[in-house]
């Protein structure tokens, strides 16, 4: 296992993190807790959960595992979250998480799921940020952090307000242009970076032919290629992977153990391929952010990627939960095609809109 510094906290976290949102059989609390123990014994020390994950069973699974994990002579970190904008609601949720997780202190507590800058302002106004900082003073939280779906330039703004020690964000070979700026800002400000969705929601591994370019060496499989690409970024502290079972852990650990750093030329070749030659798919570069009626074009076109390659989850859920919008957001489109002129991938955006409407109507 490879361990990296989490920002300037002095904590050494495993590059592979345990994402507690994909248990195969979450109703089996004890059996699922054993998967965490297996991860800890395999060298993983960063464990991420949230209220609501796996039908709200995930924190209970973690709490059951934590009782056993404390008996082992091993260091580990627990991360959980609250998306409550209201300070007292957040505090109530935090106290509940502490009980469920069987800990006196949460190592990394995320101001969760910051979707837009208005949302971020709401977290401050509603008292959520203050409640997190107060809990840190009381020792209930060790490190306040935030998790976000914001574009990189907005992540930089939140980072530079200096409330947090780290950021949890979605990042993969597909969407790196969208968040790169946020990762750079975290590095410049000595903050930890936890990457969610390193496989692009399964899109990369489910479409090995389209993503074959990500393997720079013959010996790599597609999973190696996707994770090794991220591991080359020194600013990334942890890659969170949603483990279903012990076998998933063994596979991911083997991938991490086989990592050999790429040259700059190899990394840039992959980046250039994604930026210039990645036909058909939206890379969420956001160059289409030119809409005169303020339609967030990239949110719809990225969702429409699911029509061109296999991806997890419904398109509607992607729009709703990942992007915080819905298909009626396209109603104001005047078909001026300014977004198409700006698209780096030269995608037929209006066609994608129509395909998406039909597909969502059919789901
Ligand atoms: S075609 Fe529609 S989405 Fe694109 S810029 Fe014009 S109004 Fe906006
Ligand atoms: S639609 Fe085109 S310009 Fe917009 S984010 Fe996707 S690839 Fe980039």
Q: Is there an atom of ligand 2 within 6 Å of 286 CB?
A: yes
Q: Is there an atom of ligand 2 within 6 Å of 283 CB?
A: yes
Among 138, 128, 130, which residue's Cα sits nearest to residue 98? 138
Please identify, by atom number, the ligand 1 atom nearest to the C-alpha of residue 353: 3
List the single range of 62-66, 161-165, 339-343 with lowest mean pLDDT: 339-343
- pLDDT level of residue 344 (50, 70, 90 thresholds): low
Give distance in angstroms: CA of 273 to centre of ligand 2.
Answer: 15
Ligand nearest to the CA of 351: 1
Contact status, residue 282 vs residue 347, Cβ threshold 8 Å: yes
186 φ, ψ to 5°?
-60, -45
149 φ, ψ to 5°?
-115, 20
Give SS3 for 193: strand
List the single range of 59-73, 85-99, 215-229 with lowest mean pLDDT: 215-229
User: Which residue lies with its CA nearest to atom 5 of ligand 1?
Assistant: 291
Give SS3 for 298: helix
Please identify, by atom number, the ligand 1 atom nearest to the C-alpha of residue 349: 4
* Mean pLDDT confidence for 341-360: 88
Give the pLDDT confidence of 27-51 residue by residue, as tens digits: 999 999 999 999 999 999 999 999 9
Q: Whole-angstrom Cα distance, residue 250 to residue 290?
A: 45
User: Which residue lies with its CA nearest to atom 8 of ligand 2?
Assistant: 285
Q: Whole-angstrom Cα distance, residue 88 to residue 92?
A: 6
Angle at 297 between CA 296 and CA 300, to 5 degrees: 100
Among 223, 229, 248, 256, which residue's Cα sits nearest to residue 19? 248
Among 248, 239, 258, which residue's Cα sits nearest to residue 194? 239
Lookup result for tokens 């074009």: 297
Q: Which segments of the chain belong to CATH 3.20.20.100?
A: 3-268
Q: Whole-angstrom Cα distance, residue 340 to residue 276?
A: 16
Give distance in angstroms: CA of 297 to centre of ligand 1.
Answer: 7
Q: Whole-angstrom Cα distance, residue 7 to residue 5?
A: 6
Predicted confidence at residue 116, as pLDDT, reads: 85
Among 225, 219, 246, 202, which residue's Cα sits nearest to residue 37? 246
Question: From the centroid of its chain, how far is CA 198?
Answer: 7
Give the pLDDT confidence of 268-286 residue by residue, as tens digits: 888 888 776 666 778 777 7
Q: Is there an atom of ligand 1 within 6 Å of 330 CB?
A: no
- pLDDT level of residue 346 (50, 70, 90 thresholds): confident
Please give the CATH number for the structural domain made up of 3-268: 3.20.20.100
Give the HSE-up count for residue 228: Cα atoms under 13 Å, Cβ half-sphere. Answer: 24
Contact status, residue 319 vs residue 326, Cβ threshold 8 Å: yes
Please identify, by atom number, the ligand 2 atom nearest to the C-alpha of residue 301: 1
Interstrand relation of 12-14 and 3-5 (parallel, antiparallel or unpaired): antiparallel
Give the pLDDT confidence of 223-250 residue by residue, as tens digits: 999 999 999 999 999 999 989 999 999 9
In 10 A of CB 137, how many CB atoms?
8
Q: Is there an atom of ligand 2 within 6 Å of 175 CB?
A: no
Please identify, by atom number, the ligand 2 atom nearest to the C-alpha of residue 178: 5
Contact status, residue 164 vs residue 193, Cβ threshold 8 Å: no
Q: Is there an atom of ligand 1 within 6 Å of 295 CB?
A: yes
Give distance in angstroms: CA of 159 to centre of ligand 1.
Answer: 31
Q: Is there an atom of ligand 2 within 6 Å of 210 CB?
A: no
List the single range of 14-18, 94-98, 221-225 with lowest mean pLDDT: 221-225
- pLDDT level of residue 201 (50, 70, 90 thresholds): low
Lookup result for tokens 């020690």: 165
In the predicted structure, residue 310 carries a pLDDT above the cut 70: no
């Amino acid at each position: 296992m490879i361990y990296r510094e989490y920002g300037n906290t002095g904590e050494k976290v495993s590059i592979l993190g345990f994402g507690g949102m994909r248990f195969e059989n979450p109703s089996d609390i004890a059996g699922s807790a054993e998967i965490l123990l297996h991860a800890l014994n395999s060298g993983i020390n960063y464990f991420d959960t949230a209220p609501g994950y796996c039908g709200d069973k995930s924190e209970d699974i973690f709490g059951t595992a934590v009782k056993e994990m404390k008996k082992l002579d091993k260091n580990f970190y627990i991360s959980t979250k609250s998306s409550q904008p209201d300070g007292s609601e957040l505090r109530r949720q935090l106290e509940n998480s502490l009980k469920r997780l069987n800990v006196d202190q949460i190592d990394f507590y995320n101001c969760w799921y910051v979707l837009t800058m208005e949302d971020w302002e709401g977290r401050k106004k509603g008292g959520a940020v203050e409640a997190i900082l107060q809990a840190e003073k009381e020792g209930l939280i060790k490190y306040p952090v935030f998790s976000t779906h914001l574009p990189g330039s907005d992540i930089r703004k939140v980072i530079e307000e200096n409330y947090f020690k780290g950021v949890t964000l979605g990042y993969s070979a597909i969407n790196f242009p969208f968040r790169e700026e946020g990762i750079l800002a975290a590095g410049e400000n000595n903050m930890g970076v936890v990457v969610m969705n390193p496989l692009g929601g399964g899109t990369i591994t489910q479409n090995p032919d389209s993503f074959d370019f990500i393997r720079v060496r013959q010996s790599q499989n597609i999973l190696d290629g996707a994770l090794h690409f991220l591991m080359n970024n020194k600013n990334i502290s942890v890659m969170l992977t949603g483990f279903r079972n012990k076998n998933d852990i063994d596979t991911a650990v083997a991938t991490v153990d086989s990592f050999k750093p790429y040259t700059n030329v190899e990394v840039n070749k992959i980046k250039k391929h994604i930026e210039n030659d990645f036909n058909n798919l939206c890379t969420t570069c956001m160059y289409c952010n030119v809409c005169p009626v303020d339609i967030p074009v990239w949110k719809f076109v990225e969702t429409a990627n699911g029509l061109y390659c296999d991806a997890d989850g419904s398109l509607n859920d992607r729009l709703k939960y990942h992007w915080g919008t819905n298909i009626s957001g396209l109603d104001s489109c005047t078909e001026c095609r300014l977004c198409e002129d700006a698209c780096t991938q030269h995608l037929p955006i209006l066609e994608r809109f129509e395909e998406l409407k039909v597909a969502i109507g059919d789901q």
